Amino acid sequence: MEGDDEVPTLILEVGGNRLGYAMPGCEEGYFDGDAVRVILDAQWLVFGYDISERDTRWHFIHRASDHLCAVLLWPRYEVNIRRCADGWLLFDDQGRLSHITVAGASQRNVSLN
């Protein structure tokens, strides 16, 4: 991450290209572990960072276009994220599940008590 008075920026070098991604709302004081969690596959760059004591912001970037396609706020730092056939699954130990489809750009949420 770079920048003191500026918006923190995630800098990645992928395939010989250096790319920067702004992380608005990033609160560096809340990090207990890794400051940024990054998932990279052939089509997507997904990264999450803390924006408060509990909340995490996730960015979904299409790699071919380098376009930010979605931003998701998750009410917990501990979240599991997995790529599935048609999109992404996010879930946590509080019974929350979110499915984001890539082609339809839709989101479905379930919460179990």
In the beta sheet, which residues pair with residue 53? none
Q: What is the pTM of this model?
A: 0.84
Q: In 3D, which of 65, 59, 17, 22 has the Cα closest to residue 37?
A: 59
For residues 97-107, give the mean pLDDT: 89
List pLDDT tens digits, range 33-89.
677 899 999 999 999 998 888 889 999 999 999 999 999 999 987 899 999 999 999
Query: Hey, what are 31's tokens?
Result: 């990090």
Query: Hey, what are 109's tokens?
Result: 């949420």
Asked if residue 26 lies in contact with residue 33, where contact means CB atoms within 8 angstroms, the answer is no
Sign of CA dihedral 58, 62, 63, 67: negative
pLDDT at res. 3: 47
